C-alpha cells in the first residue's frame, strides 16, 4: 500500500533524562527533546493484516492535524516542535474515516462495508486509569499516528472497539463520500467536545464563551458552543482567513488579538460581566491565559487544549477571588464522545463543512504540509484512495 511516513533522527538532548523504557521502546514522552531533523515522504509499505480483535479499514479521508504539523516542523536547532508522545519512523495520520475491508475472527459488531470513524487514543482497558474511566490517560497508552502506524495510508488496522459507525451521518447527508470526509472531522471535534463537556461539568446554555485560536480544534469548539446554546461566542485569531471561517461558523465576534487589551475588550462585549467559558486552543497561553484577569466571570471555566512548550504564569489570586476553574484536557475517548459528535453532525446542528479548505490525494501530502506552514487553511483533507 501507499503511505506517508515521517522519519527523524534519534538525538536526545543532553539535558533530557531518558527512562529505561524510552531507551528500550523508543516511545518518547516528550518528542521535541529527542527527535531531530524530521522529514516526510510518500512510499510503499506492507499492507496491514488484522489481529483477532481488529479490523482493516480502507482509509477514505484523513485530516492533517496541528500535531502532525508540529511533528513535521523543526525549530532552529533542528528538533521537532511536537512536545508529546511519539515513536519514529511511523506513518502519520489520526483524524480519519473509512470503510471496513476485513475483520478479525473475534470481531462481532462490525462487518465488511461498514463506514466508521476511529478513535486515535488507543486505551488498554485494563490499567488503573482505564478502569477508573480515564481512558485518555491510559497507563499503557499508544496513539495511532504518533506511536503506531497511522491513517495517511490506503489501509490501516485498528481494534474494533475504537470504531464508531457513521450510518446516521451517511443517511443525513445522502452521500457516503461526503459522510466519510465529515467522519474525518469527528476526532478533532471530539477533542473539543471532551474539553468542553466532559472535563468539568460546568457548561450552561446562555454562557459567554471565548475561543482562543481558530485552527481546527478552536473552530470545532466554536461550532460546539454555538450548537450548545452559548449566547455569545467570541473568537480570537491572528489569521484573516481563519477569522473568515470562524465568522461563517456562527461566531458573534471574531477579532485579531494583536495589540488588544483582552480584559477591556471582553468586559465591553460581555456588558461588564466577564466570560463564563474560555477555550485555549491556540497553544499560546502566555498570550491568551496570562493576560486574563478582570474579564473572567465569577464561577468561570477555563479549559486548556492547546499544547504549550513551556510553563507560563497565571494570576491565581483572580481565580480564587472569582472562583474560576481551570482544567487541562487531553484526548477524545470515552464518555460517548464520538457517538455524540456523530449524532450532532447527523442532526444538522453541527455542520463543519466550511472548515474543509482543500481535499488532496495522498501523493500530494508533502505539498499539503508545505501549504499548511502558513496556517491560513483550517483543514486539509487527504484522500488516500
Q: Which domains does the chain have, with CATH numbers?
A: 2-188+332-383 (3.90.180.10), 200-328 (3.40.50.720)
Q: How do residues 216-226 score in pLDDT, each as one tens digit?
A: 999 999 999 99
Q: How do residues 73-84 score in pLDDT, each as one tens digit?
A: 999 999 999 999
Q: Per-residue pLDDT for 260 more than 90? A: yes
Residue 6: the pLDDT is 98
pLDDT band at 376 (very low <50, low <70, confident <90, very high): confident
Nearest to 365 by CA among 158, 100, 59, 81: 59
Print burial letters for 230-253: b (CB count within 10 Å at least 16), e (below 16).
bebbbbbbbbeebbebbeebbbee
Q: Per-residue pLDDT for 309 more than 80? A: no
CA distance 22 to 29: 8
Residue 4: the pLDDT is 98
Q: Per-residue pLDDT for 311 more than 80? A: yes
Task: Give the residue numbers annotated as catalytic, written as ranges.
Answer: 67, 70
Angle value at C-alpha 195, between 191 and 199, nearest 5 degrees: 130
- % pLDDT > 90, the chain: 97
Mean pLDDT of the chain: 96
Q: Any idea of the CA torsion for 29, 33, 39, 45, to the nearest 10 degrees?
A: -30
Q: Per-residue pLDDT for 310 more than 90? A: no
The DSSP letter of residue 272 is T
Residue 308: the pLDDT is 80
- % pLDDT > 70, the chain: 100
Burial bucket for residue 113 (CB in 10 Å: 0-12, 13-18, 19+)? exposed
Please state the φ and ψ torsions of residue 158, each to the nearest 5 degrees.
-140, 160
26: left (phi over 0), alpha (psi -120 to 50) or beta: left
The answer to whether the CB of 346 falls within 8 A of the CB of 172 is yes
Nearest to 72 by CA among 5, 2, 150, 156: 5
Residue 239: the pLDDT is 94
Q: How do residues 127-153 score in pLDDT, each as one tens digit?
A: 999 999 999 999 999 999 999 999 999
Amino acid at each position: 500500500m501507499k503511505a506517508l511516513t515521517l522519519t527523524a533522527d534519534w538525538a536526545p538532548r543532553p539535558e533530557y533524562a531518558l527512562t529505561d523504557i524510552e531507551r528500550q521502546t523508543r516511545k518518547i514522552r516528550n518528542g521535541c527533546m529527542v527527535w531531530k531533523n524530521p522529514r516526510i515522504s510518500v512510499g510503499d509499505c506492507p499492507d496491514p493484516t488484522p489481529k483477532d480483535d481488529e479490523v482493516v479499514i480502507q482509509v477514505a479521508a484523513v485530516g492533517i492535524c496541528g500535531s502532525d504539523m508540529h511533528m513535521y516542523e523543526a525549530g532552529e536547532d533542528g528538533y521537532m516542535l511536537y512536545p508529546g508522545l511519539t515513536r519514529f519512523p511511523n506513518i502519520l495520520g489520526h483524524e480519519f474515516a473509512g470503510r471496513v475491508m476485513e475483520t478479525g475472527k473475534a470481531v462481532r459488531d462490525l462487518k465488511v462495508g461498514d463506514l466508521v470513524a476511529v478513535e486515535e487514543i488507543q486505551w488498554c482497558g485494563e490499567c488503573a486509569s482505564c478502569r477508573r474511566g480515564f481512558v485518555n490517560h491510559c497507563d499503557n497508552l499508544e496513539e495511532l499516528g504518533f506511536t503506531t502506524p497511522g491513517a495517511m495510508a490506503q489501509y490501516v488496522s485498528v481494534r474494533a472497539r475504537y470504531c464508531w459507525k457513521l450510518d446516521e451521518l451517511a443517511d443525513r447527508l445522502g452521500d457516503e463520500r461526503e459522510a466519510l470526509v465529515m467522519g474525518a472531522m469527528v476526532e478533532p471535534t471530539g477533542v473539543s467536545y471532551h474539553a468542553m463537556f466532559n472535563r468539568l461539568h460546568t457548561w450552561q446554555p446562555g454562557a459567554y464563551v471565548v475561543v482562543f485560536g481558530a485552527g481546527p480544534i478552536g473552530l470545532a469548539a466554536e461550532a460546539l458552543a454555538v450548537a450548545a446554546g452559548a449566547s455569545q461566542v467570541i473568537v480570537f485569531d491572528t489569521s484573516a482567513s481563519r477569522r473568515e471561517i470562524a465568522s461563517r461558523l456562527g461566531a458573534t465576534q471574531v477579532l485579531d488579538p494583536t495589540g488588544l487589551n483582552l480584559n477591556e475588550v471582553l468586559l465591553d462585549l460581555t456588558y461588564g460581566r466577564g466570560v463564563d467559558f474560555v477555550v485555549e486552543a491556540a497553544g499560546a497561553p502566555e498570550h491568551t491565559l496570562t493576560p486574563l484577569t478582570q474579564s473572567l466571570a465569577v464561577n468561570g471555566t477555563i479549559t486548556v487544549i492547546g499544547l504549550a512548550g513551556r510553563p507560563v504564569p497565571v494570576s491565581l489570586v483572580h481565580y480564587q477571588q472569582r472562583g474560576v476553574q481551570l482544567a487541562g484536557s487531553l484526548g477524545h475517548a470515552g464518555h460517548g464522545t464520538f457517538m455524540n459528535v456523530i449524532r450532532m453532525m447527523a442532526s444538522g446542528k453541527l455542520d463543519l463543512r466550511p472548515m474543509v479548505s482543500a481535499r488532496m490525494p495522498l501523493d500530494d501530502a508533502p505539498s499539503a504540509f508545505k501549504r499548511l506552514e502558513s496556517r491560513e487553511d483550517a483543514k486539509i483533507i487527504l484522500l488516500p484512495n
